[in-house]
A and B are shown apart, each in its own frame.
Chain A
Amino acid sequence: MRDRPPPPGTPPGPPPAAPRTAPTRRALLRAAGALGATAATGGLLTGCGTAIGQGFTGGAGPASKLDFWNPFTGGDGARMVEMERAYRERHPGIDLNATTFVWGDPYYTKLTLATLGDRPPQVAITHLSKIPTLAGAGLLREIGDDELAAQGMTADRFDERAWQKAHHDGALRAIPLDTHPFVLYVRTDIAKKAGLLGPGGALPDVDGPEEFLDALRAAKEVTGAWGCSIASTKDPSTCFRLFWSLYRQLGGQLVADEGQRVVIDMAAAEEAFAYVQRLTREKLVPTGVDSPGAITLLTSGRAGFLLDGVWQILAVQDAKVPFDMRPFPRIFREAAYACHADSHGLVLPKSPSEKAQRADTALEFVRSLLDASDAWAGGGHVPAWLPTQRSAAYRKLEPQSHYAAAADGAAYDPSAWYSGAGSSLHNRLGDVCASVLGGRTAPGRGAARMREELRELAATPSPL
C-alpha cells in the first residue's frame, strides 16, 4: 500500500458544505451518521475497485491496476522504489501498487496463500531457487515466447544460466532480473600492505588451495587478527554457500530427481570440509561471528577478506573503507569453475481469470524494470538483462563489474522442494558446515551427517 500515488486525473472533490449556523450537537450527530452511511454505500458500490473490496469479492479489479509484490527492504528496497518511479512516470495510466513484505518465509507464505486464494498480485519477485517449489505446485503462469517477444524480451538478451534456471518442466516460469553470487571482498589497503597486490593495483591472485591460504596468512599478519571473515553463527545459508561453492568445484552433486534421490559424493564432501577446517584450524577465519559481525571485522580492518553475498556491498560501502570485490576463488580444479549463486526473477502468479492476470501490462512492467536494472546493479546484483550487463555504464561500475564473471559459474541450489533461499536444505546442511568450520565435527563425520540429513529430507513426503 506504500508508494501509491493518487490516481491520475482525479481532482480533489468539492469541500463538504459548511453549515451556515452554529451546529447543534444533534445536527452534528445526524450529519456524522449520514456521512458514515454514504461512505458505506459508496464503499460497496466501488468495492470491486478497492483492495479491500477485491479481497472480499475476488473481483479482477480495474484493468489499470497493477499489483507488484517484493521482499526488498534496505538499500535494495530503495532502489526498487526508484525503478518503480521510473515506470510510473512513463505509464501514468497504470496504477502501480507495489507492496513490500519481510524477506523469507513471511514473504513466500503470503505469495503462496494469496495465489491459492485467487487474489495474487499480477507480478511478484521470487528467487529462482524457489521455482521448483512454486512452479511444481502450479502457482506460476507459464510465460510464452510470443508475449515475451512482444515486449522485446528474447532468450538471447538474458544471462544464460539465469535463463535456464527460470525454466521448470521445459516452460519459462520467471523472467530473471539478476544473479547474486557468493563472492570475495578484499580490503585493498590491507592487501597492499601484505604485498598481495600486483602491478597497477590489480587484485591478488588467490586461486588454488595453497594460494588462497597463503593470501589469508599474509593478510592475517597485517591485521593481527584474522585473514578472512565468514559468518558462521546464526547464518546457516552462508555456511551452505561456502560448502556448495567448494563442493561444486570438485564436481559433486547432492540430490537428483527433484530431490528424491541422494547422490552425494562422500569423498568430495569430505575434501571440501577438510579445506573448510583448514581455514579455521590455522585461525585464519574466526568461528563465532554472525553476519553483521563478519562485515564489521572487514570494515574495522581486523580481517583482510570477507566471503559473503554481493548484496552486502552496501554495508561495506557505508563504512567508507577502500575495498574491492572479485569472484569466489577457484580453489579446486576438478570441475568447471563454480560459486554459489541465486537469482531474483519476476513471476506472474496464476490468476483466476485472464482479466485479473493482465499479462501484457505485467510483462510491460517487467520490461521496464529490466531497462532500469543499471540502478539495480548498484546494489551488487549482476544484471541478467544483457543490454545492461554489457553496457559501457555497467563496465565502468566499480567494484560491481569486477565480479560479473562469477555469474558464468553460478551454481544454483539443487532442484528440490526443500531447497532454495532460506530453505530446510540451507538450514540443515549449513548447520553441519558451521559445525565443521567450528571444529566440532570432523570432515568425514560432517560428510556422513550431511548424507543423513539429505536422506531424511529425501524421504520426507513432498508438499507438492
Chain B
Amino acid sequence: MLAPFGFFYLVFLIGPLLYLLVAGFFNTSLVKGGLGEWVGLENYRRAMSTEEFWTSLWHSMWFTVLTTVPLVLLALVLALLTDRFSQGRWFFRLAFFAPFVLPSSVISLMFMWIFADQIGLAQSWAKSLGSETPPSWLGDPDWAMLSIAAATVWWTIGFNFVIYLAALQEIPRDVHEAAALDGAGPWQRIRHVVVPMLGRATTLVTVLQLVASLKVFDQIYMMTGGGPDRATEPALLYVYNTGFTEGRVGYASTVSLVLFVVILLISLVWFALLRRTEKEG
C-alpha cells in the first residue's frame, strides 16, 4: 500500500532534496547543462559573507515575529469570543475563516488596492483619523513590511481560529462548572482553566505558523517584489532572485539548504520548549 506514495515521495521530495544538497557544492548554472564544476564550500562561504543573504534572512524572521504573535493571540481571542455564542456560531466561523480560502494572488491584488498611494482606502482612513500626510504603505521602507504583515494576518487568521475553536469545544462543560462552583470568575476560568487546556492546540498552531511565516514568498513577491530598496525581501525571494533571475542555481541551492536547516532548527527548538513547559505544567 505504501508503494505508490513511497514512489512519489522519493521522486518528488527526497530526490530533489538530495539534488539540492549536491548542487550546493557545485557552481550549477541555469543556462548550462549538468551540475557544473565542484566548488566545495565556496557557495557557503559566499553566502555567509554576503550582506543580502543575512538581511533577507532577517526579513523572514522579522515577518515571522510580526505575523506569528498576532496570528496566535488574536486567533485565540476571536475563538474565545465566538465560543461564547450558543447560536449563530457558524456565522463567525465562516466569517473569520473565509479569507483563508482566497488564493495569495487575490489577497495581494486586494491589498495592493487598499494600500495604494493617493487612491487607496488605507490612506484615506489614515487621513480621516487625522494624519495629514499618510505614509506610502507599500512604498515606504519603514512601513512596507508592516503593511504586508497586516494583510497576512487578515488573510490567514481563520486557520488558527478554527483550530482553537475546535479545541475549545473539546473542553467538557463540567470543567467550567467545577471551576465556577469553586468560585472562579470568567477571567480566572480563561486564564487558569481554558488556556492551559488548550496547550496542545497552541503547540500545533505556533509550530505550523512559524513554518508558514518563515517560508513567506507569494504575497511579498506580488505586493512589493521585495522592495522598496529590498526592505521586504525575504530569504525565499533571495533564493528566487539568485536562482531564477540570475541563473546561479548552485548558489541558490546552498541558500535554500541553509534556510531549510534554519526553519527546521527554529521549529524543533520551539517545539521542545513548548513540550517542556507543558510537562512542567
Contacts and interface: CB of A to CB of B under 8 A. Distances in A.
Contacts of B244: 105, 109
A463 B141 CA distance: 31
Interface residues of B, number: 32
Nearest to A300: B119
B199 interface: no
B99 interface: no
B248 A463 contact: yes
Residue of A136, A289, A463 ringed by the most chain B CB atoms within 10 A:
A463
Contacts of B170: none
Contacts of B29: 137, 463-464
Interface stretch (A33-41, A356-364, A418-426): A418-426
B101 interface: no
B116 A293 contact: yes
Contacts of A460: 246, 248
B229 A431 contact: yes
Contacts of A331: none
Contacts of A293: 116-119
Contacts of B224: 234
Nearest to B224: A234
Nearest to B117: A288
Given A233-B139, A288-B139, A435-B228, A423 B31 contact: no
Given A233-B139, A434-B229, A133 B245 contact: no
Interface in A360-391: none
Dominant secondary structure of chain A at its interface with chain B: loop
A338 interface: no
B119 A139 contact: no
B246 A463 contact: yes
Contacts of B119: 293, 296
Interface string A88-126: 000000000000000001000100110010000000000
Given A105-B245, A427-B241, A463-B32, A435 B229 contact: yes
Contacts of B226: 427
A434 B141 CA distance: 11
Given A234-B227, A440-B141, A461-B248, A116 B32 contact: yes
Contacts of A109: 30, 244
A78 B274 CA distance: 57
Contacts of A290: 112, 116-117, 139
B245 to A, nearest CB: 5
Interface string A423-462: 1100100011011001010000000000000000000110
A289 B30 contact: no
A134 interface: yes
Contact of A289 (B117, B141, B225, B229): B117
A227 interface: no
Contacts of B239: none
A299 interface: no
A188 interface: no
B230 interface: yes
B147 interface: no
Contacts of B240: 105
Given A427-B241, A460-B248, A134 B31 contact: yes
Contacts of A432: 229
A315 to B, nearest CB: 16
A384 to B, nearest CB: 25
A236 interface: yes
Interface in A271-330: 286-290, 293, 296
Identify which of B117, B140, B223, B228 gathers the most chain A CB atoms within 10 Å of its CB: B228
Nearest to B240: A105
A187 to B, nearest CB: 18
Interface of A: 105, 109, 112-113, 116, 133-134, 136-137, 139, 232-234, 236, 286-290, 293, 296, 417-418, 422-424, 427, 431-432, 434-435, 438, 440, 460-461, 463-464
Given A296-B119, A423-B246, A461-B248, 18 more contacts: A105-B240, A116-B33, A233-B139, A233-B228, A234-B224, A234-B228, A286-B117, A287-B139, A290-B117, A290-B139, A293-B117, A417-B246, A422-B245, A431-B227, A434-B227, A435-B229, A463-B27, A463-B248
30 contacts: A105-B240, A109-B244, A133-B31, A133-B247, A136-B31, A137-B29, A232-B139, A233-B117, A233-B136, A233-B139, A288-B136, A289-B117, A290-B116, A290-B139, A293-B119, A296-B119, A417-B247, A422-B245, A423-B246, A427-B226, A431-B228, A434-B227, A434-B229, A435-B228, A440-B229, A460-B246, A463-B27, A463-B29, A463-B248, A463-B249
Q: Enumerate the 3 nearest inter-chain pairs by beta-carbon distance, A residue then B residue, closest first.
A: A463-B29, A137-B31, A288-B136
